[in-house]
Structure 1
Amino acid sequence: MDELGIPVLDNHLHLDPRHARGVDAVEDFARLGGTHLLVVNKPSWHLGVEAETGEDFRAVFEETLGAVAEANEVLRGRAWPVLGVHPGLVTRLTDERGFSPEDARDLMCAGLDTAAEFVDEGRALALKSGRPHYEVSEAVWDASNDVLKHALSLGAEHDCAVQLHTEASEELTDIADWAEARGLPAENVVKHYAAGTLRGPTPSVMSEKDRLRVAVEAGEPFLMETDFVDDPDRPGAVLGPKTVPRRVRWLLDEGYEDAMRNAHVETPKRVYGIDTEATLGD
């Protein structure tokens, strides 16, 4: 295994052992020096679950926990599950299944309640929620924001971080304010698929070179991710599992040791309460 001298965390990717690469992708990540993963459950309908109740999401979450267990057999560090309801489900429910925005909201909130049980039991590290990154009706937008606010309330209640899938933006102070009002510190809210800087939540920066250059120069807390989707029809999408360790090596070679410690040791500890150094094996 190629070791880079520091822990290397991919903050957001998906694994699908049933349909796609699963642990083979983890082996690629580990071979290049990757040590830690935050594994987010795939959208429920991608795993064949057309939920009618909050309990119906449980099968999706259990499958994600199985993928995490397999990853932990491979990694020199460890993997943790991040569980929740993809915000795009609202459109599937309203446009394809005939749900009202309010009924879609209630089902998605119930799914988040089920995810929070896993956090409460110590079986998951964080929650995942958000709002559509595409145009929707005002009613759907309002319902989606209600779901997002519910996730923030659950994060405060269960003392865990919340990862968000939202529209592209470098300013999400509205969400940070909603979190703070519910007792969840804004730094414990993470915008997945972020650009190099972000006002409000903590950015999880997509590991493209231009975005990372902005992040390391800014000197603010940030994380790194690939959003690898592990889809057999889209191999390597969004970024492949080798990307984060490759980018870490590149940035270390460029002299950004402090920035890499920020992204892979200090920020994970601040946001999630995890110690990526103490969880490294020999």
Structure 2
Amino acid sequence: MLDDETPVLDNHLHLDPDNHRGIDAVRDFARLGGTHLLVVNKPSWHLGVEAETGEDFRAVFERTIEIVDEASSELDGRAWPVLGVHPGLITRLVDDRGFSPDEARDLMQAGIDVAAEYVESGEALALKSGRPHYEVDDDVWAASNAVMRRAFERGAELDCAVQLHAEASEDMTEVTDWAEEAGLPSDRVVKHYASGRLEGPIPSVMSEKDRLETAAERGEPFLMETDYIDDPDRPGAVLGPKTVPRRVRWLLENGRDEAVRIAHVETPERVYGIDTEATLERA
């Protein structure tokens, strides 16, 4: 176990409340010393929602908030929801459902607007958006960027962070320039599934040792994540819920106390305005 003073935050994972491990995954995380979670809603179609209007996303967000409440009761810290529209939805809408890129953009922006309502009411901590991490045609790319920029606008209005699902890159300063144009500071933009080095957004580093070593060496703000997807068809996909506590222990054993403090105390405060120490009550 980790010591009683160390908050351990997984900045990006998914929980499937109905079809897979759900709260059992949270118990695994907590058993190894994990204390805080940012739970991102699963892609809407994974929860059986084929949205026609922005309001249709509400069921996805409500179900996510419910499992986050359950997760908090299992943790010595707490969990928070991050809500939004997965950027891969645009491909599903255009290729499978016959939407034009502009129609898909409008629907996804409407979904972001509904997610923003939960942030405004205090039921969610941050927004999730982004753009496809695979090749798409120019019209779909432009529509995706417009959805992401809507998320930045709403984040600026609400003074909340935006987590991005996007292509692999070590320089996304163009994206943070867009955020700042909308009034959202660059340190409120988080690139999920990041490597240890990134210009522009705050990297949410996949908790593999080589990536974490790079992030620790830099001494810059970063977060740690697993992107655990809780999918019964892909049980080993991405990293398991025990990974972040294990990697925190490994960092501490290797004298990386400062990196642990940056990732689990200082950066969460800077990006989300959350206090992982004040919200930690270990038994």
TM bucket (normalised to shorter chain) is: over 0.9
| Aligned position for 1:65 | 65
- The CA distance in 2 between the partners of 1:218 and 1:271, in whole Å, is 18
RMSD: 0.8
- The CA distance in 2 between the partners of 1:108 and 1:195, in whole Å, is 27
Note closer, same or farther for the CA distance 1:4–1:239 as it changes in structure 2 (3 Å cut). Answer: farther
Cα pair 2:2 2:249 within 8 Å, conserved: no
1:145-202: CA deviation from partner (whole Å, max 9, x where unpaired):
0000000000001110000000000000001100111110000000000000100000
Where does 1:184-223 land on structure 2 (aligned, <5 Å)?
184-223=184-223
Cα pair 1:131 1:148 within 8 Å, conserved: yes
TM-score (norm 1): 0.99
| Aligned position for 1:79 | 79
Displacement of 1:73 after TM fit?
1.0
Does the residue aligned with 1:73 lie in a helix, a strand or coil?
helix
- The CA distance in 2 between the partners of 1:170 and 1:11, in whole Å, is 19
Report the AA paired with residue 167 of structure 2.
Answer: E
Report the AA paired with residue 239 of structure 1.
Answer: L
TM-score (norm 2): 0.98
| Aligned position for 1:20 | 20
| Aligned position for 2:232 | 232
1:81-130: CA deviation from partner (whole Å, max 9, x where unpaired):
00000000000000000000000000000000000000000000000000
Note closer, same or farther for the CA distance 1:4–1:235 as it changes in structure 2 (3 Å cut). Answer: farther
1:199-248: CA deviation from partner (whole Å, max 9, x where unpaired):
00000000001100100001000000000000011113210000000000
| Aligned position for 1:7 | 7
Matched residues, number: 282
Cα pair 1:170 1:197 within 8 Å, conserved: yes
Q: Aligned pair 1:267/2:267, yes or no?
A: yes
| Aligned position for 1:147 | 147
Identical columns (%): 74
Cα pair 2:169 2:198 within 8 Å, conserved: yes
- The CA distance in 1 between the partners of 2:4 and 2:218, in whole Å, is 23
Does the residue aligned with 2:59 lie in a helix, a strand or coil?
helix
| Aligned position for 2:45 | 45
| Aligned position for 1:92 | 92
| Aligned position for 1:252 | 252
- The CA distance in 2 between the partners of 1:177 and 1:72, in whole Å, is 35
Cα pair 2:165 2:193 within 8 Å, conserved: yes
5+ long unaligned stretches in structure 2:
none
Does the residue aligned with 1:215 lie in a helix, a strand or coil?
helix
